[in-house]
Structure formats: C-alpha cells, structure tokens
A and B are shown apart, each in its own frame.
Chain A
Amino acid sequence: MLAESKGIRLEHISKIYQDPKTGKDFRAVDDANIVIKPGSFVTLLGPSGCGKTTTLRMIAGFESPDEGEIFLGDKAINELTPNKRDTAMVFQSYALFPHYNVFDNVAYGLKLRKLSKEEIHEKVMEILDLVELTGMESRMTNQLSGGQQQRVALARALVVEPSVLLFDEPLSNLDAKLRVSMRTEIRNIQQRVGITAVYVTHDQSEAMALSDQIIIMHKGVVAQVGTPQEIYYHPVNEFVADFIGEANFLKGKLVSKKDNNENDGIMDINGCMVEVTEIRTRKVGDMGTLVLRPESATLAEEGQLKCRVIVSCFMGAYQNYHVMVGDTLVKITDFNPKHKKIYQVNETAYVNFAPCDVHVL
C-alpha cells in the first residue's frame, strides 16, 4: 500500500447543536485544537456524549463545524463534501452493503474511481489477503462472523488508499475476546500500511493498547493530549486521572519546597507530612490534590499516611483495601499479598508510596 498519509489539524473547532428538549444551543465540541501527525494512531477517548463521534464526523465531513477550520495535510477542507475528502471511515455497525458480496463491497470505492477491471481485481485481492479474508470474496456479508465483517469494512476503507482512516468504535459490537485480537490486528495493519488513523472509543484499555497519542475529551472540551504513559502518569486534572485507570485524590497543603529541586516538596495531608514530586509552579501554602494510583500504594505498620481499614478483600493477585485517611476514602490494591501482613477491618495502618509515583494537581 502506498497511501500517502497526511496529518490532520483541527483549529478552534466547535460544533453547536440544539438540545431537542429545551431548544437551547449547546456545544457538543468546544474549541478543540488537535494536531495529528502523519502516520500516527490517535484515539479520541472520553465518556459517552463527550463529542468524540461529532469530532470524527466533522473530520469525515458528515457534520460541518460552527467555528474553526479543519486541515488535511496543508489543505483546509471545511467546504469539501465527504466524497471529496481523502478520508475513509469504518463504522461501529460496519455499514457493509447488504446487497453486495464481500468482493463487491471492497470494490465499491475502486469502481467509483473508474479503475479497470483487472486493476480492481488485483487491488481487492491484495487487500483481502492483508485482512486475511482470501477465499471469502463471493460470500454475502450476512454469511460472515462479526469479526470478519469488521475486516471487510476495514478492507473497504483501506483499498481506496485514503490519507486518513477514521474509526468510530469499530469493535464495540464484538465480544470481549475478539475485541482484543481485532484491535491488535487493526494496529498491525495500520503500522504496515503506515496510514494516519483516528480512532474513537470509550474503552480506555483499547485506547492504551492502540494509540501513539490519546486525546481525552470531556463535555466537548479536549481535556488532555498525550501518549498513553503521559496521560496515565501525568493527568492534568481529576477527570483525566479518574477516567484513565483508577485514582485516589487526597487534598492537602504544600508546606515546604526542596531548595535544590523546584519540583519536589512536602505536603500536609490530614496532618501527615508527605514527600511529593511534580508540584511545579505551586508555592508554599498553596492547596493541592495528590493523585495516588491504587497499585502504587501498599499498607504497612508505619509510613506516610495514617489510616483505618474499612474493607479488606483477598482477590488472588492482590489484596483489595478500602481505607479512610481522615474523611477521604482511599482504594489500595496491594499486589503479591502472599507473604505480607494482611490488615483486617478496623485495624489502623499506614499508606505507603514512593514520592515519584504520585502526582500533584
């Protein structure tokens, strides 16, 4: 495949819809600025209704933005209809043409481009080979399994050699196991072809597994853009921290800064002095929220935060604790509990974590 992949740029994109009940306007997408590099795999991730599909459909051209400009490569494409845009979309419902067989489904876009019969045949067979559907050309689409249908949809989009592939929750109709194997396959094919891909999902593990970059959306606003690691370890706000993985939030006050390192300091959380990093621009006396992942913490006889256990539950791979630090509930997954002390409900213990494992908001 020699598709020349292009980048995408969204500049101050907003989409305003009318609420069907109240008749009031609201912003389904609000001032989104996104840069997608050529050849990269980018996921739009967020809870239901946050504007992911709307964003994707604006890139495809099915919806028009109310503010801003979309660029494909260097070209502004706001005014182009979907059929004139160099994008191809894979839909959640696959959207295969039920009256065509597999071959004709894949060939549809090529026929529109007025290729010769031989060329079409060659390209279709090549792409069917890529998605491992050789031999199924003459099946009707309803004679395929869900995973095979999704691969036909993928082949149909790939075969026209678009600059950008768009996916709208393409795997959500499949069962859990198939979902995992299909996403690996999608990622492999994307890498092999080297095409730019924008992928909408609300499944965080899917986003983590697939993406070069994740774009987290929340109520129409782009909350954070970054690699999976950046987003997981350095979430910019509580929403992102909580949406990606699980997170505990502990409020406290910054009591001192280390002189040699601007980023390290001591926080007072519920009367306990805790060493933290990543305080960035905060000054002594400022309030902050400590983000603590459940798997970064353990319980011990002594340590940083005094707490009282209220739930203690053996899960095999880890011991699951709920503890109270003052008024704040903290969840802890203590891995490898076999040779550790297990705390029971109502016991007092200390929460322990490495300063570099926490993050201050």
Chain B
Amino acid sequence: MARSKSAALDRKKLLGDPVMMGMIIVLLIFLVLFIVYPLFVLLIDSIYNEGGFTLHVFSKVLSMQRFRTAFSNTIVLGLITGVLSTIIGLLFAYVDVYVKMRIKAVGKLFNIVSLLPVVSPPFVLSLSTIMLFGRSGIITRSLLHIYDSDVYGLKGIVVVQTLTFFPVCYLMLKGLLKNIDPSLEEAARDIGASRWRVFTTVTLPLLLPGLGNAFLVTFIESVADFANPMLIGGNYDTLATTIYLQVTGSYDSTGAAAMSVILLSMTLILFFIQKYYLERKTAATLTGKASRARMLIEDKSVTVPLTLFCSLVALFVIIMYVMIPFGALFKLWGRDYSLSMKWFDYLFKYSGFKAFKDSFLLSIIAAPITALLSMIISYLVVKKKFKSKAFIEFVSMLAMAVPGTVLGIGYIRGYANGIFHSGILSGLYGTGLILIIVFIIRSLPVGTRSGISALRQIDKSIEESAYDLGAGSGKVFMTITLPLIKDSFFSGLVTSFVRSITAISAIILLVTPQFLLITCQINEFAEKGYYGVACAYATILIMIVYASVLLMNLFIRFFGTSKKIKGEN
C-alpha cells in the first residue's frame, strides 16, 4: 500500500510517546480482560464440552420448558414495554414541542419526570407499585377494599418498566421533533390538511426511524432489566431472572452460560441495528435545524386532553417516588399508617451501616476510575489515530449492549477458577476489586459517550498547539483537555457513582457475604415482604443519589469551565 510509509511513521511517533503508548496498552488489556474475555468464555462454555465442540448444551437448554417460557416471556415483555414507552414518550415530546402550555407547572412536571430515571435506583418503581396496588396496597386494599389483588407478573413489570423507560424515549423524540422544520407542516396545513392528517402524513413519516430507534433502545433495556422482573415478576420469569435462578438455584452455570449467549446475541443484534442503521437513518432524515419558531397549537380540543393525560402520567410517576419514604415511615403498610422510625431503627440495628459503608466505598472508588478511563477513551477516540482505536471504541460501546446478568455469569465462568481455569487471577474472584471492576465496566459506555460529545466540541487545534509547543500526550491531556472538559468529567464522575451505587444485575451474582450492598439488601428484604425496611434502604439511597447530583450541579455552577470561559463575556 502506498500509504504504508505514513502509517509506519505514525507508529514510530506513537512509540516515541510513551505515555500514550502506555495508556493504549493498559486500556486494551483492561477491555480485553473484563469485557471481551468474559463474553468469549460464555461462548466457549456453551459450545465446548469435554474436549470437543458440541451444541449439546444449547440443545439441552433449548429443550428446557423453563427456558422456552422465559424466552417468549422476555420477547413479549420487550415488545409491550417498547411500544408503550415509545407511545407515551412520543405523547410527552409532542406536547412539549407542539402544544402551548398554559400552566407553567406542567412544564416543571415534565422536567422532573425526564430527570427521574437518572437519579432513581432501578427497582424503586417496583416497590411503590407493590405498595400501591399489591395485596396490602394503599389503593387496592385501603381505598378499593380489594383483598386479593395481584400485581405480580407481566402486567406489573410492564407498568413499572414503561414508567421507568418512557422518559428516555421522551427526551430522544423531543430532540427529533425540535429538528423538524415547521414550514414543512405548515405547508401541508396550508393546502388544507387537518392537524391529524399533517401528523400522520408529514410528522410521523419523518419521525419513523426515530421511533424505531426509541423502541429498540427501550426493548434492549427491558430485556436486560433484572431488578424489576425479580421484584414484581412473580412467576413471570424472563431470561435475565432465569439465568440468575439457574446459577443460584440449580447451580447449573453451563446452562446459564448458554442462556446468556442467547440473551446476549439478542441484545447485540438489536443494538447493532439501532446503532448502525436506525441512528444513522434518524440523523439523515432530520438534519435541518428548525428555521424558525413553531406556531404552537392552541386549539383546546387538542391541548386539553393531551396535556391532561401527560400531566396525570407525570404526577403518577412522582407519587410513586413519594411513596418510598412513606413506606419507610409508616408502621405497617396496608394496616397501620401511623408514623414511626422503627424500620430505620431496624435497618441500622441489622447491618445497615455496613451496607451503606460497603456500597458507598466501592462506588466511590469506582467512580473516579470510570470517569478518568472514559475520558481517556473518548480522548483517544476523538483526537488520536492509531491501529487499535476502532477496537477500543467498539468494545467500550459494546459494553452498553451487554445485559448485567450476562456480564455477571461471564465473570463467574471466567474468573472463578482463574483465567481459562488456569488459576491466574483467581484471587480476583470474590473480592471487592471485582465488584469495583464490574461497576467500572457497567458505567464506562455512558461516560465514554458523554465524553466523546464533549470532546468533539473542543477545537482540535487547541490541543495541537499545546503539543506543538512541546507538551507530550499525557501533558496535553492533563493540562489542556481535562480542564476543558471538567464539567463533563465531573458529571461523568457523579453519573458513574450513581450508577454504581444503584447497580444490581451483575453485582448480585458476584457479591460474596463479605460485602453487603444496599441494592442487594433492598432486593432481599422486598423478596421477603419486609417492605418497610426495603423502603428505608431505598429512601436513604435516593437521598444519597440526589445529594450527589445536587453536589454536581453546585460544583459545575461554581467551578465549572463553562463559567470561566463563557460566563465573563
């Protein structure tokens, strides 16, 4: 190849830059060891048996009634949740962008709802659904006097997942709707089309790839979700919970490995469709910025029902969150609604402190490492060229599509007896370190994504000029790049802390009795029906999370780069 000389020179220059070389090597090792290898082991596990390749494990798993049920359950759940979340998200987005809101509070409500998924532990909505509609539910039992209400099963999961995931769809679709040029719709309206016709013939077709995108994102989330099916699923087992039970109940980790491979293939395929087809198509159909402000709909027959519906949904979601602290403060949910601190007392009497200490400590160690790693990855991906760059970018995005349960099984199979059963690194298994690593891997894609978008906004010549003035890559990164993306770095720090302290799916498979984690405690107490304790844990957890987000906003307000750079003009 004619271009080989410049490639060779680039390589030499890279070698002459030890910091960067070191960074790349460390990253490669880390990603291979903790993402590629565990997934690879699962694949090997399920096709390699007693010295030969076989599909035996797969056929065994496929013939298991339990697996088949779980498989179809998962798909059904994903479809329903995906469709519902997309529709509700679309309604919210439409109201937000197109409808004139007369009451300020409605806008506020929308804002809160769009922020909730960021700060909420995964199973909070399950808990409150049980407390609202369960056998001792405040609505079912105390208001409607239904004593045998059953929220468990598909309907419960669907409600909870939809309410958890629709805000994500809302935000995605809002961005797209804003990009539709109003003159397109006005033109159609001008030649006599009704509002509904304009929506179905102009807006909707333009939005179609975006809707598909939102649907797939939700579908993947739903399928990978572990905590909610676990808490409110009842007998409705999904793949994620079945895999968990296969390991913890039947001690069949080969079977679990095969199931994991199937679940993983499913999410991966959908992820690639979403990432490389729909996302591109969305960008292609909706490139133009809106040329001017949109005429908002004021027609009451449209605005009133839409706004009302969305406000009710939003209010409902907020009430569900408010349920949690009350759940912790009432003496006995469903029977005795007098206030007491007994659940908190109970919590702190029985190892509550340890749970908070362990969760907090592990997460606070994981957070800065994650934030730094994701900034380094984004830096390399955006600003540098080298051979393994595509691999690094690909693998760190791949982690986004891997369900936590699958990763957990991968770590069990991959590290319980050391790498490839060789005993190497076997000391890792069961330690706090592996939990920290899981936290890091689970938050890395999110941090990387936001890091990449932050870095793309920095003119590349700013770093080049530092490089040119004599700074090596490490120096450039520390003195120029990092200070400029301080905001994004800090929000990445907090996000990964929040994600870590609220994580459960992979962790629950790997945690040893030596560590008590809040999320696992909530799960355990909720399973046993001690909702008061579960709520007490969840309340404190929400407070911690909320405080960190508050801290982040304060920090960015007072020390953020944006203030220094933009604020003084």
Binding site for B on A (CB under 8 A): 15-16, 18, 25, 60-67, 78-85, 87-89, 91-93, 95-99, 108-109, 112-113, 140, 142-143, 153, 156-157, 160
Report if A99-B470 is in contact (Cβ < 8 Å); known contacts: A64-B5, A82-B464, A84-B16.
no
Report if A64-B9 is in contact (Cβ < 8 Å); known contacts: A16-B3, A91-B464.
yes
Contact flags (1/0) for B552-569 with A, using CB distance below 8 Å? 000000000100111011
Which residue of the partner chain B has the closest CB to A65?
A: B6
Report if A89-B10 is in contact (Cβ < 8 Å); known contacts: A99-B484, A99-B565.
no
Binding site for A on B (CB under 8 A): 2-7, 9-10, 12-13, 16-17, 459, 461-462, 464-472, 475, 479-480, 483-484, 561, 564-566, 568-569
Which residue of the partner chain B has the closest CB to A79?
A: B12
Q: Residues of A contacting B461 with CB < 8 Å?
A: 91-93, 95
Q: Residues of B contacting A65 with CB < 8 Å?
A: 5-6, 9
Q: How distant is A199 from chain B, measured CB to nearest CB, in Å?
A: 16
Contact for B470 among A67, A97, A113, CB less than 8 A: A113
Q: How distant is A156 from chain B, measured CB to nearest CB, in Å?
A: 7
Do A79 and B16 touch (CB < 8 A)? yes
Q: How distant is A309 from chain B, measured CB to nearest CB, in Å?
A: 47
Of the A-B pairs whose beta carbons lie under 8 Å apart in the complex, a sample of 17, sorted by A's number, is A64-B10, A65-B9, A67-B5, A79-B13, A83-B470, A84-B16, A92-B461, A93-B459, A95-B461, A97-B462, A97-B480, A98-B484, A99-B483, A99-B565, A108-B479, A112-B471, A113-B470
Q: Residues of B contacting A99 with CB < 8 Å?
A: 483-484, 561, 564-565
Q: How distant is B476 from chain A, measured CB to nearest CB, in Å?
A: 8
Bound Cα distance A18, B1 (Å)? 12
Do B468 and A60 touch (CB < 8 A)? yes
Do B467 and A79 touch (CB < 8 A)? no
Bound Cα distance A23, B349 (Å)? 67
Q: Residues of A contacting B467 with CB < 8 Å?
A: 62, 81-83
Bound Cα distance A80, B470 (Å)? 12
Query: 17 other contacts beyond A91-B461, A160-B469, with CB at 8 A cut-off?
Result: A15-B6, A16-B2, A16-B3, A60-B468, A66-B3, A66-B6, A79-B12, A84-B470, A91-B464, A91-B465, A98-B484, A99-B483, A99-B561, A108-B471, A112-B475, A140-B565, A142-B565
Q: Residues of B contacting A112 with CB < 8 Å?
A: 469-471, 475
Do B464 and A62 touch (CB < 8 A)? yes
Q: Residues of A contacting B483 with CB < 8 Å?
A: 99
Which residue of the partner chain A has the closest CB to B479?
A: A108
Q: Residues of A contacting B472 with CB < 8 Å?
A: 81, 83
Bound Cα distance A99, B561 (Å)? 7
Which residue of the partner chain B has the closest CB to A25?
A: B2
Contact for A140 among B4, B475, B480, B568, CB less than 8 A: B568
Do B6 and A109 touch (CB < 8 A)? no
Q: Residues of B contacting A156 with CB < 8 Å?
A: 465, 469
Do A83 and B5 touch (CB < 8 A)? no
Contact for B16 among A16, A81, A140, CB less than 8 A: A81
Q: Residues of B contacting A109 with CB < 8 Å?
A: 469-470
Do B561 and A95 touch (CB < 8 A)? no
Q: How distant is B67 from chain A, measured CB to nearest CB, in Å?
A: 45
Bound Cα distance A63, B464 (Å)? 11
Q: How distant is A66 from chain B, measured CB to nearest CB, in Å?
A: 4
Do B5 and A66 touch (CB < 8 A)? yes
Q: Residues of A contacting B466 with CB < 8 Å?
A: 97, 108
Most buried by A among B2, B6, B475, B480: B6
Bound Cα distance A25, B1 (Å)? 10
Q: How distant is B479 from chain A, measured CB to nearest CB, in Å?
A: 8
Bound Cα distance A263, B561 (Å)? 67
Do A78 and B561 touch (CB < 8 A)? no
Q: Residues of B contacting A16 with CB < 8 Å?
A: 2-3, 6
Contact for B2 among A66, A81, A153, CB less than 8 A: A66
Most buried by B among A15, A18, A98: A98
- For the complex of A and B, the 9 pairs showing the least CB-CB separation, nearest first, are A64-B9, A109-B469, A95-B461, A64-B6, A91-B461, A95-B465, A98-B565, A66-B6, A112-B470
Report if A61-B13 is in contact (Cβ < 8 Å); known contacts: A83-B467, A108-B469, A142-B565.
yes
Bound Cα distance A296, B277 (Å)? 61
Q: Residues of A contacting B568 with CB < 8 Å?
A: 140, 142-143
Q: How distant is B233 from chain A, measured CB to nearest CB, in Å?
A: 49
Bound Cα distance A95, B470 (Å)? 15
Bound Cα distance A88, B461 (Å)? 12
Bound Cα distance A17, B8 (Å)? 15
Bound Cα distance A61, B472 (Å)? 13
Bound Cα distance A87, B569 (Å)? 33
Q: Residues of A contacting B464 with CB < 8 Å?
A: 60, 62, 82, 89, 91, 95
Which residue of the partner chain A has the closest CB to B476?
A: A83
Q: How distant is A29 from chain B, measured CB to nearest CB, in Å?
A: 11
Bound Cα distance A25, B13 (Å)? 23
Q: Residues of B contacting A160 with CB < 8 Å?
A: 469-470
Q: Residues of B contacting A142 with CB < 8 Å?
A: 565-566, 568-569
Bound Cα distance A78, B11 (Å)? 12
Q: Residues of B contacting A18 with CB < 8 Å?
A: 3
Which residue of the partner chain A has the closest CB to B7?
A: A64
Q: Residues of A contacting B6 with CB < 8 Å?
A: 15-16, 63-66
Bound Cα distance A83, B468 (Å)? 5
Q: Residues of B contacting A157 with CB < 8 Å?
A: 469
Q: Residues of B contacting A140 with CB < 8 Å?
A: 564-565, 568
Q: How distant is B480 from chain A, measured CB to nearest CB, in Å?
A: 6
Do B468 and A87 touch (CB < 8 A)? yes
Which residue of the partner chain A has the closest CB to B469?
A: A109
Do B462 and A95 touch (CB < 8 A)? yes
Q: Residues of A contacting B471 with CB < 8 Å?
A: 83, 108, 112
Q: Residues of A contacting B480 with CB < 8 Å?
A: 97
Do B565 and A83 touch (CB < 8 A)? no
Q: How distant is B61 from chain A, measured CB to nearest CB, in Å?
A: 43
Q: How distant is B20 from chain A, measured CB to nearest CB, in Å?
A: 10
Bound Cα distance A96, B566 (Å)? 14
Most buried by A among B468, B568, B569: B468
Which residue of the partner chain A has the closest CB to B561?
A: A99
Q: Residues of A contacting B3 with CB < 8 Å?
A: 16, 18, 25, 66
Bound Cα distance A113, B475 (Å)? 12
Q: Residues of B contacting A88 with CB < 8 Å?
A: 468-469
Q: Residues of A contacting B13 with CB < 8 Å?
A: 61, 64, 79-81
Which residue of the partner chain A has the closest CB to B9?
A: A64
